[in-house]
Amino acid sequence: MTRAPQCLTVLAPIRPDKESGLRGVLRAIGDDIKGKDLAAGRTRPHIAFVRSRHIHFARFAILNDPDRGSNRSRLLFTSIYDGSLDAHLDELTSITSDMNAIWGACEGYTGANDFPSFVSACAQEPAAYYIAFRDETVESITRAIDARRRGQSLQDNGGPRVRIASNGRRDSWLRRAPRAAPIVVDLVRTVVRSGFGHVFHGTSQILASLDRYPLFRVFNWITRNQIPPLKSHYSSLVLDQRAPFESLAPGDEIPTRPAAGSPALREDAVAQNQLTVVTVIDPAHLDRVRAVMAAIDSYARRLAPSGSLIGISTIHFARWLVIDHGRRLLFVSDYDGSWESYIDEFAEMILTGLDAIWDTSFGMPPDGARDLPAFKRFLRSHQVPSDLFFAAYPEETVLNVATDRAQ
């Protein structure tokens, strides 16, 4: 069986005064992500993602680093790759024309030769990690796309018709059982680490909006678990729709609004888009956050069927990381469609799950995600724009991949 795609997340402090230079370098690469202008900009630092064979997604973003100081910032690099970490770092090094122009801006980087040890020193492990298709590689997905395109192009030029595949294929329970089994171990471990109360409450909160699954409906019925009623029929949204985002807690990373039209933001522009959100965890609730993350991680790794996270079928990869010694929660997602439709789908499919994830962070509306306009503003205000976003098969939705798999 193919090894599932891995995720790498690196958070490295940027040397003082190196931020704007680094941002310039990253944006220039982001503008030329397919390497079309490579010849023209030979002297300019470049990452030839177009030559990569094992990277599904990659992004660079610059985050504030308030724990180090109000003027400090740090580089977030996060990628999804096939194969081993060593091979991934080798590939990354080989396609980067000037490693020093990017990584040299970070503290602790001593050169390309020491890149693996630098990465392992500042790599962060996800607390929860979801993969739409555990057995698909960049190679297998692009091969399926090519096959489909060939078939369609043949047909468009008078060849035989392409059979329409139904995209409703489900893995059988029998095949999923071996993957699901270790969930018992997960549960025991999580209860030991986070305490039964947090695991129970966090899980109940998620399950409250999952009555559509018979098993969870029974659980909700027995425990009288339900979506809490709204505290108010009014939205807690601010009155001034142009009000700047405000910091809601000490150390809250409110990013400045990205320059409009920044191509690297690439949001709502093509089939695939990206979201990076950093929120500040209320220290009193850190155990709850860890318990909820463990539950999501366990579900995503052991139970989630192909192409669907609790019914949400627009996510290619998503990961949550508890960073800064439990102070902040980082959410990174590669998804399909517009930002609005993505959040709407989350709210439709797993409304109280959003509360479970974020109501332990400062700034969540009193009615949580049920107050959707205020929740969207909460997310927007904590969203960090990427300076560089690469997607290997940017025009392919999760549903497209599922359809190709069924062919």
Partner 1 sequence: MTSAARLTDEALRDIQGVITSGYGHLPFAAYLFVTITDADDGRQWLSRIADSVTSSHRRGNGHSAPEDRPPAAVNIGITASGLRAVGLPDEVLRTFPVEFQDGIASDERSRILGDSGTSAPETWEIGGPRTEPAHALLMLFAADEATLAEMCRTHRALLASSGGAVELRGGFQRGFRPDTFAEPFGFHDGIAQPSIAGLSGHGVPTGEFILGYDNHYGLMPPTPVVPREMNAAPALPPLDSPYHAGKQLGDLGRNGSYLVYRKLQQDVAGFWQFMAREATRDGGADAARMVWLASKCVGRWPSGAPLMLAPDADNPGLADRDDFFYADDLDGLRCPLGSHIRRTNPRDVLKPYPREQSLSMTEAHRLLRRGRAYGAPLFDASVLRHTPDAELFKMLANLQDDGQPRGVHFFCVNASLKSQFEFVQQAWCNNPRFGGLNDNVDPLTSSPCPPDSPSRMTIPRQDGALRTNPLPQFVTVRAGAYMFLPSLTALRFLGSRLPR
Summarize as ranges the residues that interact with partner 1 (CB under 8 A).
148, 152, 155-156, 160-164, 166-168, 212, 230-237, 239-243, 260-261, 268, 271, 307-308, 311, 313, 336-338, 340-341, 344-345, 348-349, 370-373, 395, 397, 399-400, 402-403
Q: Is 82 helix (H, G, I), strand (E, B) or coil?
A: coil
Question: At closest approach, how far in Å is the CB of 29 from partner 1?
Answer: 23
Cα–Cα distances (Å) from 373 to 185, 243, 249, 276, 345, in that order, read: 39, 14, 21, 19, 14
Question: At closest approach, how far in Å is the CB of 224 from partner 1?
Answer: 20
Q: Is 44 helix (H, G, I), strand (E, B) or coil?
A: coil
Question: At closest approach, how far in Å is the CB of 365 from partner 1?
Answer: 9
Q: Is 13 helix (H, G, I), strand (E, B) or coil?
A: strand
146 by Cβ neighbours in 10 Å (0-12 / 13-18 / 19+) ranks as exposed
Question: At closest approach, how far in Å is the CB of 135 from partner 1?
Answer: 19
CB 308 within 8 A of CB 213: no
Please name every residue paired with 336 in a beta bridge, in sequence order, or none if there are none. Answer: 272
Q: Which CB sits closer to partner 1, 41 or 337?
A: 337
CB 264 within 8 A of CB 387: yes
Q: Which CB sits closer to partner 1, 249 or 347?
A: 347
Question: At closest approach, how far in Å is the CB of 386 from partner 1?
Answer: 18
CB 402 within 8 A of CB 167: yes
362 by Cβ neighbours in 10 Å (0-12 / 13-18 / 19+) ranks as middle
Q: Which CB sits closer to partner 1, 43 or 241?
A: 241
Phi, psi (deg, nearest 5) at residue 285: -115, 15
Q: Which CB sits closer to partner 1, 182 or 228?
A: 228
Q: Which CB sits closer to partner 1, 339 or 362?
A: 339
Burial 194-227 (b: 16+ CB within 10 A, else e): beeebbeebbbbbbbbbbeeeebeebbeeeebee
Report H helices in 112-156: 115-122, 138-156
Question: At closest approach, how far in Å is the CB of 303 from partner 1?
Answer: 17
Q: Is 214 helix (H, G, I), strand (E, B) or coil?
A: helix
Cα separation of 390 and 337, whole Å? Answer: 16
Question: Which residue type does 71 have?
Answer: N
Q: Which CB sits closer to partner 1, 170 or 189?
A: 170
CB 12 within 8 A of CB 106: yes
Q: Which CB sits closer to partner 1, 299 or 342?
A: 342
Question: At closest approach, how far in Å is the CB of 6 from partner 1?
Answer: 26
Cα separation of 106 and 74, whole Å? Answer: 8
Q: Which CB sits closer to partner 1, 181 or 243?
A: 243
Q: Which CB sits closer to partner 1, 310 or 323?
A: 310
CB 319 within 8 A of CB 130: yes
Question: At closest approach, how far in Å is the CB of 340 from partner 1?
Answer: 6
Please name every residue paired with 11 in a beta bridge, in sequence order, or none if there are none. Answer: 76
Question: At closest approach, how far in Å is the CB of 261 from partner 1?
Answer: 8
Q: Which CB sits closer to partner 1, 144 or 289?
A: 144
Structure tokens at 165: 């595949």
Question: At closest approach, how far in Å is the CB of 231 from partner 1?
Answer: 8
